[in-house]
Chain A
Amino acid sequence: MAVDIELFGQLLPGTPRRRVLDLKRPVTVRETAHLLGLNPDDAGLVTINGVQREMEDVVPPHCRLCFFPYMTGG
């Protein structure tokens, strides 16, 4: 299943911000982060289709998955 992924801010500098991962089996957000080479602890916010999610949530098919660094509102 294809998952549309976007990285924001200073996460994994020097790598493409957007990519499509073809996942062969259901995986969690944490596993997806590892597949990307991203330390899950560096992510302050994860969203799937615009809704905040946790690291242990399973990534649904054909979704948009975003990883954000730690942020603070002004």
Chain B
Amino acid sequence: MKLLRVDMNELQVKWEPLPVVYNHLGGRALIAKLLLEEIPPRCDALGPHNKLIVAPGLLGGSGVPAAGRLSIGAKSPLTGGVKEANAGGTAGDALGKLELKAVVVEGQPSKKELNILYVTPGSAQLLPAGSLSGLGTYATTDRLKGQYGPDCTVISIGQAGEYLLTGADIACTGEGDQRSNHAARGGLGAVMGSKGLKAIVIDKAEARSVTFADPSLFRGAVKRFAQELVNDPKLGPKGGTHLYGTAAITGAVNEIGSLPTRNFSSGNFEQAANLRGEHMREIILARGGRIGTRCMPGCVIACRNLYVDEAGVPIVGTLQYETIALLGSNLGLGNLDDVARLNYVCNDFGLDTIETGAALGVAIEAGFARYGDFESIAGVLRQVSEGTALGRLIGCGAVVTGRVLGIRRVPATLGQAMPGYDPRSLKGNGVTYATSPMGADHTAGNAFGARNQVNPLAVLGQRELSLKLQIISAMLDSTGLCLFARPPVIADPQLMVDMLNGRYGWGWTNADLDQANREVLRNELEFNRKAGVTAADYRIPEYMREEPLAPHQVTFDVPDSDLDSVFTSL
């Protein structure tokens, strides 16, 4: 295994053997360790001392279903702390097959010129991006695929990343013609832009297979794991995640009163039925779109869709729950066509749909557009690519937008916008938003799936639940496993241990795995502490503690003492 260092000062690349201390680390775990060891915690996130780290999970390239997610990390310009965001697609698999632990992008070019990094099994080189400058992610991908072949993987930024907007994300290509799997959160697209890196191209044609320490153990565990996924009522071929995608939960989140509506002013949206996964499926099938496709090689869940217009022309793929919540109900939009069109624009500019949806909600509250009025909302969003002052505000996310426009009701913690679950009526997520080193990020510990264990409206048990979920998330993000594929390894952690031991021959126990997951959080919390992040920065906004949320008329009332002690037993 090796590291690829990319020096943007000198425009040179260097291969390094992997230091032994990093052997057991992948994805998010490796990012946390590298950040802590190599990046000055108080550095300017968009300056030369920050590093952009691209790392497949430990199972990347090994053929485990749904385990090819790619982690991307850096000090976040949005939160000021550690950030790891991950995306599906083919990049994690491709880098894993190259036995590449991470690509570490360092420094900053002296000239304001963009480059691309081209990676093959035996080589890597930086090349001028030339006319790719100023292009969106779709056009960038099309150009690069045209040049390097349809099977290559492209990781790219759009205009938002080039402008260094702190809501910028990073797009990754997937199977077939997919161009929009996004490592969305934390403004990592701006870090990539600050490095003068427009895209990374990974050549698949020469990618090899990985080696296994114990092929029999590995194959047995993978077979069991895949069968468990297929048998799961949520995930199998008759499960809601496959049939309706991530939007399967829209109706339920609305029903329990947690669907962000009109800048988080209600947990119910009167047009939610039009945004449900069930309705989306009917539309897509009637129009000739695609349902139940996969983003990663070998995934047996296949939750992806291709949303098309009335003429059957693709608008965006895939349309996901978080986007529907933040660009739909949060903006008062009850029409999936409208949401899909806003989604496309965000994807093309390279903007996080959660951050941007929250920022647009704040801008609407400030009077710059109207709830439910697609044209006024789209007009504001278009200004991001036009580079106007308002557009740049929106592109920098909800907190900056609220601060400049004088809006106090900003749904964010640690500088990052909340995803599609209002923490007042799903308090476990509130605890995660208020304690995770990632800030408001549902993927860091989503309590929605644990609603049968802990009452979402109660305070009791949320602290313990959030810690448990955050530890699990650290495992998923470090191995490259998709969130949706977690049930089998939660029910039987030995499955994950066997897959890792079969791949690497570590002889790990369940306890070793648990400690490794906890170490990820310890490293991230330590980085944030050194970066100057305080408990106050993590807190749920004051208005959510005071302003009751309809329909249950609840506030976020988990006491600070509970939040402060989440990691006591870590």
Contacts and interface: CB of A to CB of B under 8 A. Distances in A.
Interface in B423-464: 442-443, 446-449, 451-452, 455-457
Contact of B240 (A47, A52, A70): A70
Contacts of B235: 72
A45 B487 CA distance: 17
Contact of B234 (A47, A51, A52, A70): A70
Contacts of A29: none
Contacts of A72: 234-235, 241, 249, 448-449, 483-484, 487
Contacts of B487: 72
A27 B448 CA distance: 28
A14 interface: no
Interface residues of A, number: 18
Given A50-B268, A69-B233, A72-B483, 14 more contacts: A9-B240, A10-B238, A44-B233, A44-B452, A47-B255, A50-B552, A69-B234, A69-B239, A71-B249, A72-B448, A73-B449, A73-B483, A74-B321, A74-B322
A45 B450 CA distance: 11
A71 B449 contact: yes
A8 B170 CA distance: 34
A66 interface: yes
Interface of B: 232-235, 238-241, 243-244, 246, 248-249, 251-252, 255-257, 268, 276-278, 320-322, 421, 442-443, 446-449, 451-452, 455-457, 483-484, 487, 551-552
B467 to A, nearest CB: 17
7 contacts: A9-B244, A47-B255, A47-B256, A70-B240, A72-B249, A74-B246, A74-B322
B251 A68 contact: yes
A57 to B, nearest CB: 13
B455 A74 contact: no
B256 A52 contact: yes
Contacts of A71: 234, 240-241, 248-249, 252, 448-449
Given A52-B256, A74-B446, A9 B320 contact: no
Nearest to A41: B233
